[in-house]
Structure 1
Amino acid sequence: MRLVKICGNRTFEDTAVSINQGADYIGFIFSSESRRQVKANDVGRWMEAFPKEMRPKLVGVFVHPTIQFLEDVLAAVELDCIQLHGDEDEEFVKQVKEKFGLSVWKALPHHEHVIEEMEKFSHWVDGYVIDSRVKGMWGGTGVAFDWSNVSDYTIWAKNHRKLCFIAGGITPENITELLEKGAENIDVASGVETNEKKDVEKIAKLIEKVKG
């Protein structure tokens, strides 16, 4: 089954739209390097409006966090997954996995040696997010990468029993092409927004195409 993650939810309204449209995962960015940064206390408060049985899995997105910062966020909001979206090394990823016991995803920028990078982190992560590389930015670029190798990433992840999400510049208009290239799991933020707010129609259209 294909999975959809709606990332970069900035408000209660964004969160409600993403949940009500049937996202499998919703992402909140806890990094000061992102314009989509949110506060953990706010997210914890927003989630109180949704019964646990109707919530998708919650993903916290972090860039170069400290262990203390992760602890502080987790004290305020019950995350299902920690997504490390910076240049975190294997030792730090291992430390996060062993300390918190949650699902851990590693974001990797698309380049010619991505599968080698996936292999490097495979002992400690449960999934990957393959995203565009844009200088000075850690995700949320709205820029697509060359999708010709997407099927290789998907197959490698499947063979190693890992999730693999494709991110970067995905929209309801180009999602069919990406699926034809071999993607299964989709991570989208700006591609389902209008005026920097989550758009009900765009999310519904994208999820319909992904889920078939």
Structure 2
Amino acid sequence: MKYQLKVCGLTKLNQIKELVELKVDFLGFIFYEKSPRYVLNQLSLEQISEINHQRKVGIFVNESIKGISEIASEAQLDIIQLHGDEDEKYIKLLRQMIGENVKIIKVIRIGNQTSEELKKTINQQPTTINYLLFDTDSKAFGGTGKTFDWNILNDIEIPIPYFLSGGISLENFNQLTTINHQPTALDINSKFEIEAGNKDLEKVKVFLSLIKNEASSI
């Protein structure tokens, strides 16, 4: 399969425009004020709305449902990524407010839990979400550049398409073949940066070529 690619933590318009030209599948914008990649420190909602791309993802951490809905509307987001502790009730209310056209990604942070605990967490997710995303657990809610043990994904059933995040890099790309149920998309961030929010586009281009070569070899 050909992995789709999400580049997360974007803050610079010139880089975003180049990623659009490179046909990156998902553009990730972080709306979490404590993040060093908090997009509204660099771009306005209007600027984000004017970006011509069909899969603009807004990343939120324990934000109010009203806040997400307003930002999604003003920035013309296509996908909402919930990276905090949002529960089933929260997600159902959010779905009612944003409608069916905006997709929802629910992040499951993987730390020291067992495969049984992970199964339980997955089974508790409402059917109104469209994707799961597995990321390395951290107090900072992501962006650590650290991977979790991908082998845990081989011990569980993953009922819907998922994104894989957490320390994906040029160096560990080949290890993705050890995962039986392959991710739909790879989510890259800190391993492809010069500094927080400033992407190393040459590295991204190399990664895109790896994805392309992987797809052509299958």
Indicate the TM-score class for this superposition, using the shorter chain for normalisation: 0.7 to 0.9
1:36-81 per-residue CA deviation (whole Å, 9 max, x = no partner) reads 1112962531552x5x4xx241110000111221132123211111
CA distance in structure 2 between the aligned counterparts of 1:178 and 1:46, rounded to whole angstroms: 32
Q: How does 1:44-123 map to 2 (within 5 A)?
A: 44-48=46-50, 50=51, 52=52, 55-101=53-99, 102-110=102-110, 111-112=113-114, 113-123=117-127
Give, in angstroms, the shift of residue 33 of structure 1.
2.2
Is 1:15 aligned with 2:22? no
Identify unmatched segments of 5+ residues in structure 1.
none
8 A Cα contact 1:7 1:189, kept in partner: yes
Give SS of 2:70's match: helix
2: CA distance between counterparts of 1:203 and 1:19?
Answer: 12
Query: What does residue range 180-195 of structure 1 map to in structure 2 within 5 Å?
Result: 180-182=178-180, 183-184=182-183, 185-195=185-195
Q: Which runs of 5+ in 2 are unaligned?
A: none
Paired residues, number: 202
Contact 1:31–1:61 (8 Å) recurs in 2:
yes
For residues 67-100 of structure 1, what are the alpha-carbon distances to aligned partners after superposition, in whole Å with 9 as ceiling and x for unaligned?
2211321232111111100011110011111221
Q: Quote the Cα distance in structure 1 between the aligned partners of 2:105 and 2:163.
A: 10
Q: How does the TM-score come out when normalised to structure 2?
A: 0.84
Identity of aligned residues (%): 27
- Separation (CA, whole Å) in 1 of partners of 2:85 and 2:150: 22
- 2:39 aligned partner: 38
3-state SS in 2 of match to 1:137? coil
Contact 1:166/1:186, CA 8 A, preserved across alignment: yes
Give the residue type in structure 1 aligned to 2:106.
K
Q: What amino acid does structure 2 have at the position aligned with 1:80?
A: D
* Contact 2:134–2:162, Cα closer than 8 Å, also in 1: yes
State TM-score, norm by structure 1. 0.86
Aligned Cα root-mean-square deviation (Å)? 2.0
User: Partner letter of residue 147 of structure 1?
Assistant: W
Match in the other structure for 2:151: 148
Structure 2 distance, partners of 1:22, 1:167, is: 19
Runs of 4+ in 1 over 4 A off after TM superposition: none
Q: Which amino acid aligns with 1:186?
A: L
